[in-house]
Structure 1
Amino acid sequence: MKTQNDSRETAIEIFVNLIEQLRSISDVKLERIRDAQFNDAGVQKALVYTKYGWPEKETCVDVPAREYFASRGELSVSNGLLLYRDQVVVPEELRTEIMENLHEGHMGIEKCRERARTTVWWPGLTKYILAKVDSCQFCQDHKPTQRKEPLKVTELPLRPWQKVSADLFDHKGKNYLIVTDYYSRYIEIAYLQNITSSQGNGEAESGVKRAKRILDQDDVFIALMAYRATPIVATGSSPSQLIMGRQIRTTVPVVEKKLVPKWPNAKNVRKRDTEYKRCYAYHYNRRHGVRDLPDLDIGDEVKVKLDGEKIWSAKGVVEEANPEIRSYRVRTPKGVYQRNRRHLQLIAPDDVRITPTYDKLLSGDLNVTPRKTVPSAVSTPHVKSSTSTPPAPIVDKSMSPTDVSDNTYTRPKRLTKLPTRLKDYEVT
């Protein structure tokens, strides 16, 4: 008569066999892996430990099998084949070949990992994938555009024309210069014969959008006057009020007292502007999933790509670095360009790569030091704190401190409220 343990072992064996049959690996390749496992000392030791029990301490495990110790709870044996969950364990002899198979199609890191999760596994597989993609020229050239960095906002100056932004732009075949006052948002537009351009900062680019909108109007001067007389959301006052101390007359009727010179309260303007920028930066950073990029140094080799370009084709060297405003001057074979940090991809030398090269990983030489670190979390916006902060998560006061700090997550529950018409009834 079969015991309960025998029945359990039979059920497990049936399940493992079913998984093996459903696995998308050809019989020929599966047999090659089986033979390679048989000739691999580490796999054979791990197979024996899996069948008869692992030592309690890693130091008691034979050296060839120690790389499997951390994953011992996920290992199983089916028909003499070592498995990790429902994935075939690939011995060292075939890892290079299987890695090439996983990388076919150049679909990036996540796609390679997904293919591996349904087929094969070996210790440190993620490192192999990262190194393989990082060393693939095609993958590097076709990387997506880098994430946007946390929004940097500018503190409101103390007075008009203390700080200005300027940018050049082309509109309908003509070149223009726009100058924007940071304090009042007052703008001036000038037509130019010849220009050489570089990427401006956020205020300048915002001014370019406003200028183009104005130049698209039938009457440019009426449109410019309307902009100067319209209050700005951030300050609550119009550009004319902040730069002239009075509202200007427009085509819209206005009572006489509104035209009497009166400077807006500077303290209130500054407070409102700070709060608006803090709120805008907070939502911008959340919406775009921003991430800080490491600063570049003079002499760094980089690839250059703009948002409209599909590949990182141009290579260059950083000649001038201004990380405070994320602006860099790069010399390329086609000339010298001024570029934002987001449009530059660092090419790290092999001895200081962020991830080890594929060749070094295969040879077992992993003694490499990361050159620069990139924070993985979303950074705090570069703004001064104010009286109001983003909404904080709601915590149930009845929960213990241990419950609050737990990393487990549950689905949100809908708050139900009994209708007033049923208050005299008992509802179950």
Structure 2
Amino acid sequence: MRSKMKKLHASHLAYDSMMRRARALIFWPGMAAEIKQMSDSCTACQENKPSNQRETLWPHYEGKGPWEKVGTDLMEIQGRTYLITVDYFSNWIEADLLTTSTSTEVIRKLKAHFARFGVPKVLISDCGPQYTSHEFAVFTNRWNISHIRSDPGHPKVNGKAEAAVKTIKNMMRKTIGTGDDQYESLLELRNTPKHDCGYSPAHLCLNRMPRSLLPLTKALEPESYTEGLGAKARHRYTIKKQYDKRARDLPRLSVDQNFYFQSPGNNDWRPGKIMMRDSERSYTVKGTTGGTYVRNRVHIRPRNVPYSDIFSDDETATHEAPLDASSTDLTPHPASESSADPDGIPPLAHGAEPSVRRSGRTRATPTWHKDYDIGKW
């Protein structure tokens, strides 16, 4: 049977294809279950499976006011590095040119923003060296900021900052090409109303419309933005509803079990073990080389036992060494007074069948198999 299974899986097709091939040629009891087990546990198939389906959307809590929650990221354009900081509540964007890409320079720019707008409760970033350094950890602890880092290869956790980087980079490319003033472009960007609530980032952040190069009269000055918050919440709900139509939540994983995981930029699955659950969708895994990595749940999938190992276990359990006839005599002897059981139980009568061990139990073919030739299997 094992050789037939290997031939069925020679092209490493999935379960449905193997079943179509098997039904056209052969049959044995339990065929579907064994083919399913083999297709799911093939090591080569598991390591080359496509990526997991995306999980349902978890909208960020944007806070009750401006600069309560911010995201930050670094971008590079024309050989220059910029620090992008965005407020989750108002979508106010700050772009700072960095002289050096160090934690000290990043902290200095962030302190200037926090001194102007207030210290946020939550700061979200990626796992860049500027944000994972000891100096940055001391800064966030000193300023009482909860620092959240996105998982490697999963920038959606810091999606607000990623979108801000895209916006600023597109704006700078266009202004550089046309020779326009970048600060004027940034001013109009902040004064442009958002489609989700109808209010501009400047109005949500400053509760007023800053004067720009366009005319503004008292009649055009907007009122309080509180009425637009309901529209903003409804817009987020609509986005989540549409996103979740093609997403599903993956089951929670257990610690100290073997799994496959992916690395950023590489879709191949590598064997590893779950070491710790960092958050709801973040895990610390250990690879076969001994290194530890942080991975999102979407980059981890269960690892099934290879089919060859299952066959090896079955063969070990059912093919034990035979009994040694020289040391064990299964032939019953006539009863005698000297060999009588001291408890009065008579010895095994002549002709009675001896007890059968588990590995050598008697097997009878079910009657409904009589129409099939399964002796060779």
CA–CA separation in structure 1 for the residues paired with 2:254 and 2:81? 33
Q: Secondary structure at the match of 2:266?
A: coil
* Contact kept? 1:249, 1:259, Cα under 8 Å: no
CA displacement at 1:260 relative to structure 2: 4.4
* TM-score under structure 2 length normalisation: 0.58
CA displacement at 1:147 relative to structure 2: 0.3
Counterpart of 1:203 in structure 2 is: 160
* Contact kept? 2:42, 2:307, Cα under 8 Å: no
CA–CA separation in structure 1 for the residues paired with 2:74 and 2:272? 24
* Contact kept? 1:133, 1:140, Cα under 8 Å: no
Count of aligned pairs:
258
* Contact kept? 1:156, 1:274, Cα under 8 Å: no
2:236 counterpart of 1:330: no
* Contact kept? 1:166, 1:179, Cα under 8 Å: yes
CA displacement at 1:166 relative to structure 2: 2.7
Counterpart of 2:344 in structure 1 is: none
2:201 counterpart of 1:244: no
* Contact kept? 1:128, 1:358, Cα under 8 Å: no
CA displacement at 1:151 relative to structure 2: 1.0
Q: Secondary structure at the match of 1:177?
A: strand
Counterpart of 2:310 in structure 1 is: 360
2:233 counterpart of 1:277: no
Q: Secondary structure at the match of 2:72?
A: strand
Q: How big is the alpha-carbon RMSD for the aligned residues of Structure 1 and Structure 2?
A: 3.3
Alpha-carbon distance change, 137 to 239 in structure 1, aligned in 2, over 3 angstroms:
same
Counterpart of 2:247 in structure 1 is: 290
CA–CA separation in structure 2 for the residues paired with 1:158 and 1:181? 12
Alpha-carbon distance change, 357 to 155 in structure 1, aligned in 2, over 3 angstroms:
same
State the one-letter code of the partner of 1:256: T
Select the residue among 196, 213, 217 that pairs with 1:256: 217
Alpha-carbon distance change, 203 to 295 in structure 1, aligned in 2, over 3 angstroms:
farther
CA–CA separation in structure 2 for the residues paired with 1:189 and 1:300? 44
Alpha-carbon distance change, 231 to 336 in structure 1, aligned in 2, over 3 angstroms:
farther
CA displacement at 1:364 relative to structure 2: 6.7
Q: Per-residue displacement from partner, 1:298-354 (whole Å, max 9, x unpaired)? A: 4444433257424114x4444442343x22333444854433211122336x5xxxx
CA–CA separation in structure 2 for the residues paired with 1:239 and 1:159? 12
CA–CA separation in structure 2 for the residues paired with 1:362 and 1:261? 76
CA–CA separation in structure 2 for the residues paired with 1:307 and 1:114? 36
> Greater relative contact order: 1 or 2 (C-alpha under 8 angstroms, separation 6 or more)?
2
Runs (5+) with no aligned partner, structure 2: 103-127, 132-151, 177-181, 316-377
CA–CA separation in structure 2 for the residues paired with 1:147 and 1:299? 24
Q: Secondary structure at the match of 1:184?
A: coil
Q: Secondary structure at the match of 2:94?
A: strand
Q: Secondary structure at the match of 2:204?
A: helix
CA–CA separation in structure 1 for the residues paired with 2:7 and 2:67? 61
CA displacement at 1:132 relative to structure 2: 1.4
Alpha-carbon distance change, 304 to 207 in structure 1, aligned in 2, over 3 angstroms:
farther
2:47 counterpart of 1:141: yes
Counterparts of 1:13-412 in structure 2 under 5 Å?
Answer: 94=1, 96-171=2-77, 174-190=80-96, 191=98, 193-194=101-102, 195-196=128-129, 198=152, 199-200=154-155, 201=157, 202-219=159-176, 220-251=182-213, 253-257=214-218, 260=221, 262-264=223-225, 266=226, 268-286=227-245, 289-306=246-263, 308-313=265-270, 315-324=271-280, 326-332=281-287, 333=289, 335-347=291-303, 359-360=309-310
* Percent pairwise identity: 29
Alpha-carbon distance change, 255 to 226 in structure 1, aligned in 2, over 3 angstroms:
closer
Alpha-carbon distance change, 248 to 320 in structure 1, aligned in 2, over 3 angstroms:
farther
CA displacement at 1:171 relative to structure 2: 4.8
Alpha-carbon distance change, 136 to 154 in structure 1, aligned in 2, over 3 angstroms:
same
Q: Per-residue displacement from partner, 1:9-31 (whole Å, max 9, x unpaired)? A: xxxxxxxxxxxxxxxxxxxxxxx
CA–CA separation in structure 1 for the residues paired with 2:276 and 2:76? 26
CA–CA separation in structure 1 for the residues paired with 2:25 and 2:186? 64
* Contact kept? 2:258, 2:274, Cα under 8 Å: yes
CA–CA separation in structure 2 for the residues paired with 1:207 and 1:120? 60
Q: Per-residue displacement from partner, 1:243-291 (whole Å, max 9, x unpaired)? A: 011223445x333226747431x2x3332122111111111122xx312
